[in-house]
Chains A and B, each alone.
Chain A
Amino acid sequence: MNVNANPEDEVTVKEYFGNIWRAISTTFKGMMITFKYVYSVKPVTIEYPEVREVLPDNSRSRLFNNADDCISCTQCALVCPVDCIYIASTPRSKEDPELKTSDGTAIKQNLTQFTIDTALCCYCGLCTTVCPTECLTHTTDYEYSQYTLDTMMYDYLDPEVRAWKDRLVSK
């Protein structure tokens, strides 16, 4: 189609039939591609919820903190860009028995509060990289929506929350 032509200009017979032929041939070529997709390309839709996709191991979904391993260094709370980690701790006195984390670091603080506001978290992963004992990790669980905001405050010292460890954290 001569798109530079003014609509009021006259179109020659050759151009007229040329336009029709070009319109039909390009549309036909496009339809051939579409039919190839209809008949020979298998559908790639994952039929959720019967089939669940397995996310890669380093995927940054729900956070989990293993509170037994936490040494209350508060690096995660300091580096968080949106300030969603709330930590409180008290120092352990010398009379208390010695506690160690699973990789041998001595625990010098009693952790009294470790709460993460999961609704505020932006899933950037900065807190997991600065944790020295690797107790704070991202798991691959992505199905945890709730109806109200206050149920999205995860208190990791709560025994119910601690019990998630077996389900969420892979070995």
Chain B
Amino acid sequence: MSCDGNNKRVLVVGYGNPLRSDDGVGWAAAEALAGRLDSRDVEVQSVHQLLPELAPRLSEVELAILIDASCDGPAGEVRRRPVVAAARSAAVMSHGMDAADLLAAARLLYGRCAKTMLFTVAGQCFDHGQDLSPPVRQALGTLLQDIEDLVRGWLDTCPGKGGEDSASLTAPTPAPCLRDRV
């Protein structure tokens, strides 16, 4: 249980800038997932950047799902990869941290970090605006389903705290590591 009395097992964090079109896909996904996942077990947050303040929660939950936009790949491509704690940034700033850095901070400061999966959606447009581009909007359905499957599978089959090896993180239901363009 966290110091704030929160004992949820899964943390979903969508991050990016919702005023920069496709960079807001993390927020859009988080908002949709908040209505689809059981709030008794799953905490959903939308943030602009990954910041050190997330480290305590990442040390408390069993599973963390991070959702971000990506500049790489064809627009709408959904990718997923486990994140392993690694302090790599020489000049981490207040403006944001890398996911691996953040997990490293959680482990250094609080003794453990959650198994973590990063989902990214390749964006097409990062101009000012609050709308997602058509390919990203289309990819949202796949993204949400993948995350929902992963979280539900985790809650059904992995009671209690897991270890820290995100590399071994697999979805209980088959899920491709690299989605084709949708």
Partners in one complex: no
